[in-house]
Amino acid sequence: AFLNGVSLLHRDVSRDMWCKLWPQLPRYEIPIEGVTNGVHTSSWISHEHHQLYSRVLSGGSNGIPDSCDFAKVADIDDKELWDTHMVRKNKLVSLVRDRLRRQHQRLGSDRTVLEEAGKVLNPEYLTIGFARRFATYKRATLFMRDLERLLELVTDEKIPVQFVFAGKAHQADAHGKEFIKQVARLSMDKRFKNRIIFVEDYNMNVARYLVQGVDVWLNNPIRPLEASGTSGMKAAANGVMNLSVLDGWWVEGYSPEVGWAIGGVEPYNTEEERDYVEAESIYNLIRKVIAPLYYDRGADGLPRGWIKMMKACVQKL
Ligand SMILES: *Cc1c(COP(=O)(O)O)cnc(C)c1O
């Protein structure tokens, strides 16, 4: 009796897909609505964020984040929000190191490799996360399109960037598995100095650590194939900013004060052009906008501009 897409953009895409069923109706009257997906906030914010939000944002006696007054986010102390973020970031680093050590143990790697695995990732560096199904339309390898640009980002001495990837492909999806292979191989490339990590055996626990512990959440599907996308919502609830293609929910969530948009909404002439423009957009945003903001510290070591954006992100999204 009621039909809906899972975001406003997906409603429009669905109307185009199913319009033949209602040949007498103009597109905007096709009875398919948009109900944008959401996530269950208290399932996806960290224990530490839960405590912080309950204490500062709680409207009444019950401190469950779903009943929090998010207008009060401005009242959260900058240092406290940052410290909470850093607790989660350090936990993510520990989880990744543990899992890498286990990956290498299983492979029978020698001791020096095991020791190195225990030292990957620097919690002080700008950390970008990407974790989801490796369906090809999600383009997990887009960030590798220009390896020289990528190398420049990860080896910069003043504003270094590191990436953490995780995900599985469907067992029948040969292309998805090929993408995993490419990311995993790059993560072993010595030139990239352990700044690109692939975490095996993706599951909800790994997802939780990632959306709670990275600085930026990367999402670059081929527009408009991501019907909604929800991992970015989980990240946002923890003060992790989205760097995403304007697809799915992000068309509705995005504004310049809460995150970054890769590319635009105009169609491209070719797939080649699309991938080129959007990969360039990722490199340029990270190098010229995101990393400088992250590393802009006051005398107290706090990235005030970044924290301001984290607050807008939690409050609005
Ligand atoms: C939320 C979630 C997803 C969905 O991620 P998208 O970026 O929206 O594709 C996938 N896997 C796990 C484990 C999740 O928790």
d(CA 300, CA 312): 21
Residue 140 has pLDDT above 90, yes or no: yes
- Give the tokens for residue 109: 């790697």
pLDDT tens profile 296-305? 999 999 999 9
Q: Is 132 in the pocket of ligand 1 (CB under 6 A)?
A: yes
Least Cα distance to 198 among 292, 124, 131, 108 occurs for 131
Q: Is 100 in the pocket of ligand 1 (CB under 6 A)?
A: no
Which atom of ligand 1 is nearest the CA belonging to 138?
9
Q: Is 242 in the pocket of ligand 1 (CB under 6 A)?
A: no
- Confidence at residue 183, expressed as pLDDT on a 0 to 100 scale: 98
- Cα-to-chain-centroid distance, residue 118: 24
Task: Supply the residue whose CA is at minimum distance from atom 5 of ligand 1.
Answer: 231
Least Cα distance to 259 among 229, 219, 298 occurs for 219
- Confidence at residue 60, expressed as pLDDT on a 0 to 100 scale: 57
Q: Is 153 in the pocket of ligand 1 (CB under 6 A)?
A: no
The answer to whether 260 and 245 are in contact (CB under 8 A) is no
- Confidence at residue 230, expressed as pLDDT on a 0 to 100 scale: 97
pLDDT tens profile 16-32? 999 999 999 999 999 99
> CB-hemisphere CA count at 13 Å for 125?
24
Which atom of ligand 1 is nearest the CA belonging to 208?
15
The answer to whether 90 and 123 are in contact (CB under 8 A) is yes
Least Cα distance to 159 among 298, 290, 271, 20 occurs for 290
SS3 for 63? Answer: coil
As a dihedral over the C-alpha atoms of residue 254, residue 260, residue 261, residue 262, rounded to 10 degrees, the angle is -160
The answer to whether 247 and 13 are in contact (CB under 8 A) is no
Distance from the alpha carbon of residue 111 to the mean position of ligand 1, in angstroms = 34
pTM of the model: 0.96
Q: Is 207 in the pocket of ligand 1 (CB under 6 A)?
A: yes
Q: Is 166 in the pocket of ligand 1 (CB under 6 A)?
A: no
pLDDT tens profile 48-101? 999 999 999 986 555 566 678 899 999 999 999 999 999 999 999 999 999 999
Which atom of ligand 1 is nearest the CA belonging to 232?
7
- Confidence at residue 193, expressed as pLDDT on a 0 to 100 scale: 80
d(CA 273, CA 55): 49
